[in-house]
A and B are shown apart, each in its own frame.
Chain A
Amino acid sequence: MSAVIKTLTPFIEQDILLEALNSLNVEYHVNNGLIITNRVDYQGHQQFQFTNGKYHLIHDSDEFGGRLSRNTLNNDYQPIKQFLSKLEGAYKSVYQKKMERIAETERIRMEEAKKKYVQATKEKAIAQAKTQGYSIKESEVNGKIKLVLTRMGH
């Protein structure tokens, strides 16, 4: 007997998958690229294997035939379909948070770059003004830098 489970979201990134497993209180350890979970079925520990660019859950398909090992028949065990559905939701949530963190990091980087640019622009203008014989008064107006350059005409 064989079974195919399809999830809507491919589990591509290990760190996101591990965090998603954490959020579902699934224990695991990583060994040679395999993420071996504490979920046990007839064939032993269920594990995620990275193939063709994403993680696949390797498990005993007989679960669907009702021939689970006695050890898995407890209240904590969720059937594969239910487990993957919850994992998918958790993965999406972690992924979204990661994207937000990246966006925030990028926003901060761009803000810093902008500040540096403004500072450099100001310093360049002041340096040029000095060489042109201007006296300089600096102030801030509505968040803008105001430079008043004054000299006597030639």
Chain B
Amino acid sequence: MAEEKVILLIDEDGTISAKTIGFKGETCFDALDELLGLQSLTSVKKTDEYLQRVDTKSSIKMTTKRN
């Protein structure tokens, strides 16, 4: 079993940046949805790891903005 990691950065105004590492395919989105809810998502940047290994493991960076 591979390690799945989510790194959350919450800045001073409550905006959250999240980076996922080691998730399979697009399960990283599911993981973030479960953790944060994606309604307030403002941007998603797929990392090199996501683009290179989309069939196996994925990694994304996302940012949410305070409502």
Contacts and interface: CB of A to CB of B under 8 A. Distances in A.
B7 A149 contact: yes
Contacts of A122: 10
A154 B25 CA distance: 13
A128 B12 CA distance: 21
A147 interface: yes
A132 B6 CA distance: 12
Nearest to B8: A147
Report whether over half of chain A's contact residues are helix, strand or loop; otherwise say mixed. mixed
Contacts of B38: none
B55 interface: no
Given A117-B14, A121-B16, A150 B9 contact: no
Interface string A129-150: 1001010000001011111111
Interface residues of A, number: 23
Given A125-B16, A144-B11, A147-B7, A154 B35 contact: no
Contacts of B36: 125, 128
Interface in B1-19: 1-14, 16
A143 B13 CA distance: 11
Report whether over half of chain B's contact residues are helix, strand or loop; otherwise say mixed. mixed
A153 B6 CA distance: 12
Nearest to A149: B6
Given A117-B66, A125-B35, A152 B3 contact: yes
A120 B22 CA distance: 27
A151 B7 CA distance: 12
26 contacts: A114-B12, A118-B10, A118-B12, A121-B10, A122-B10, A125-B16, A125-B35, A128-B36, A129-B6, A132-B31, A132-B35, A141-B9, A144-B9, A144-B12, A145-B10, A146-B8, A147-B6, A148-B7, A148-B8, A149-B5, A149-B35, A150-B3, A150-B6, A152-B4, A153-B3, A153-B22
Interface of B: 1-14, 16, 22-24, 31, 34-36, 66
